[in-house]
Structure formats: C-alpha cells, structure tokens
Structure 1
Amino acid sequence: MLIRNRTPYAVAAALVAALAVAGCKKKEEPAPTPPPAVETPAPAPAPEPAPAPAALSVTSVTLGTAAGPDKKIAAPTNAFKPGDKIIASVATDGTATNQEVSAKLVYQDGQTAGESKQTLNTTGAETTNFEFTKASPWPAGKYKVEVTANGAVANTTELEVK
C-alpha cells in the first residue's frame, strides 16, 4: 500500500487562499490634499432698487354741469336741477398702466343712477371726467358719487338734485 503525503496539497491550498485574500484587499489611498485657500474679495453690495412709482391716487373730485378744455369744472356745485348733466371731474396723480377708474352715481335709496368707467395710462397728474345724463329728469333727492381706483372706493362726494 502506498501512503501518500497530503501535506503539499494542504500547503498549496493555504497559499492559494492567502493570495486570494491578499488580492481582494483594497489598497488604502492617501486622502487628497485640499487646495490652498485662495482669498476672494467679498461681493459688492447689490445696488438699491429704484423706488417704485407711486400708485394711482384720487386727489379730488369736483362736481358741476360743464367742464373746460382742461377737463376742470368751471363753476363747481353740489346742487343740481332735475334736467342738468352731472359731471364729476376726477383729479388723479401717480402712475397707472391700464388702470380702471370708475365713478358711480348712487341715489339716496341705494339704487345706482349711473355708472361710468375709464382706463387710465398716466405717469403724473391728470384730470378725467365722468358724465351722468338722464333722458327724463333726475328725481329730486340726495345722491353721492363714488369714485373707485385701485379696486377700492377712493372718494365719495355728495350732491343734491332740487
């Protein structure tokens, strides 16, 4: 009977296993050196924004029966006759691009007796007229003119038809 020595096989297997483990181990690489700090100047402060243009505001409402070429009322009054044309001269100031301004004539019982709207494009003071006429005479009583700008009532002026 032949006796074989199995030691060389065991040594060979151990050597193969050691090489396999060594081959799987990842080499550690040194950490990269950070680049030297470069001093950068602080950013310049942002320029201040230009002030926003003033929104359109109603500065006054004058009532009368006739307006001049400058759209201002020649003889202001708050007392009208039943057959009169009622003109509301609305002075505005500020900036407006396609800004709707309206005037509503309201009778003492709350009914709307007339309403007019205009679209303004302006960059300063301007006068706009709103005319209220009626085919039949105005009923006697108290009225008010409500002027709306920027979506809110900006001025209310009272008048009377006698």
Structure 2
Amino acid sequence: MTAPTLRYAVATALMASLALAGCKKDKPVDTAATPPPMSTPAPSQPATPPPMSSAVSITSVTLGKAAGADKRIESATTDFASTDPIVVSVATNGSSGSTTIHTRLMYQDGQVAGEESQSIATDGMETTNFTFNNANGWPAGNYTAEVSVDNAAPRTTTFTVK
C-alpha cells in the first residue's frame, strides 16, 4: 500500500471506530430528577391457598320422571311408561372453570335414543339434570343411560320402558 492509501484506510477505520463508540455511549443518569424507589410494606393478607384440583367426578346418577326446584329427583325410578319424560340427574363434585357433562340414552339394540351435553363451571358439589322426551313415545325395552365428564369413561345406569 502507498502512504496516501494507508492514510485513508487508517482515517476511515478511526472514523468508523469513533462512530461505533458514539453509538454505544450511555446517557448520563440525572440522579437529582429521579427520586429513590419507595419501599412498600408487605401485604398483611394471608398467602393465597393453592388451587383446588380441577378434576370433576360423578358422585351419583339418579333417574326419575321429574326434578324439583332443588334439581333433585322427586321420586327415583328405573321403570318408565312410553310417554314419560326421562330425567337423568347427575351429581358431581370437584372444581373446574369448564367441565362438559355428556349424557346418552342407548336402546337395547345399541341405537342412540337421546343425547345431550351441558357445560358447567363448578367449585364443589353440583347437580345437573338432563330431560329426555319422545313425542312418538319410547319403544318398550331395556335402556342404558351413559353419563361421562370431559370424555372420561362413562358411568352407566340401566332402566326399562314398559
């Protein structure tokens, strides 16, 4: 390299170094304008208890023809007439922001005679009712009510239509 070329290279490198150094330069901190952080006392409330299990389980399945205002079956039965409504009352226990209860009535030949789902939010014991009606009357025979929570294995109860 010649002397003028070397000078230009050194000058260019020096200017690039100065430019980069200027980019990384921190602003001075004005301590007079920024007050020191205030300490806040710890809250006097007790620690939050750990969340309850989100599992919801079926505690009982009761069949009947009508439910009262408290959602309980007025008279439990497994024998129905063809014109009776079939009320499936599902008692659950547990805690969940969203749980789906699914109920299906199966006729003796495996045909689905009725199917309903309800989504619930619960924090403890809950009763959910499903009412099935058949405008043409239920065919006589043996049936199974299958009830499941969040696609878990169903709990089954058998009943008869005469």
- Please, what TM-score do these two structures have when normalized by structure 2? 0.67
Structure-1 residue corresponding to 2:21? none
1:110 is matched with which residue?
Answer: 110
The letter for the 2-side match of 1:79 is D
Asked if structure 2 preserves the Cα contact closer than 8 Å seen for 1:58 and 1:154, the reply is: no
Unaligned runs of at least 5 residues, structure 1 = 1-48
Q: What displacement does 1:52 show? A: 4.4
Q: Retained in 2: the 8 A contact 1:95–1:124? A: yes
Structure 1 equivalent of residue 71 of structure 2: 71
Report the identity percentage.
49
Q: State whether structure 2 residue 161 is matched by structure 1 residue 161.
A: yes
Structure exhibiting the larger radius of gyration computed from Cα positions: 1
TM-superposed CA distance for 1:150, in Å, is: 2.5
Aligned CA-pair RMSD? 1.4
Q: Deviations over 1:131-150 (max 9, x none)?
A: 11111010000001000102
- Residue in structure 1 matched with residue 39 of structure 2 by the alignment: none
| 1:51 positional shift | 6.3
Residue matched to 1:29: none
User: What is aligned with 1:98?
Assistant: 98
Q: How many residues align?
A: 114
Structure 1 residue identity aligned to 2:133:
T
- 1:146–1:153: 8 Å Cα contact kept in structure 2? no
Corresponding residue for 2:88?
88
The residue that corresponds to 1:134 in the other structure is: 134
Please give the alpha-carbon distance, in whole angstroms, between the structure 1 residues aligned to 2:70 and 2:154.
22
The one-letter code matched in structure 2 to 1:97 is G
Aligned to 1:21: none
After the TM superposition, which residues 44-63 of structure 1 pair with which residues of structure 2 at under 5 Å, given as runs?
A: 50=50, 52-63=52-63
- For 2:121 and 2:67, the matched residues in 1 are separated by 21
- State the distance in 1 between where 2:153 and 2:159 align: 17
> Aligned equivalents of 1:149 and 1:108: distance in 2?
23
**2:52–2:95 Cα contact (<8 Å) kept:** no
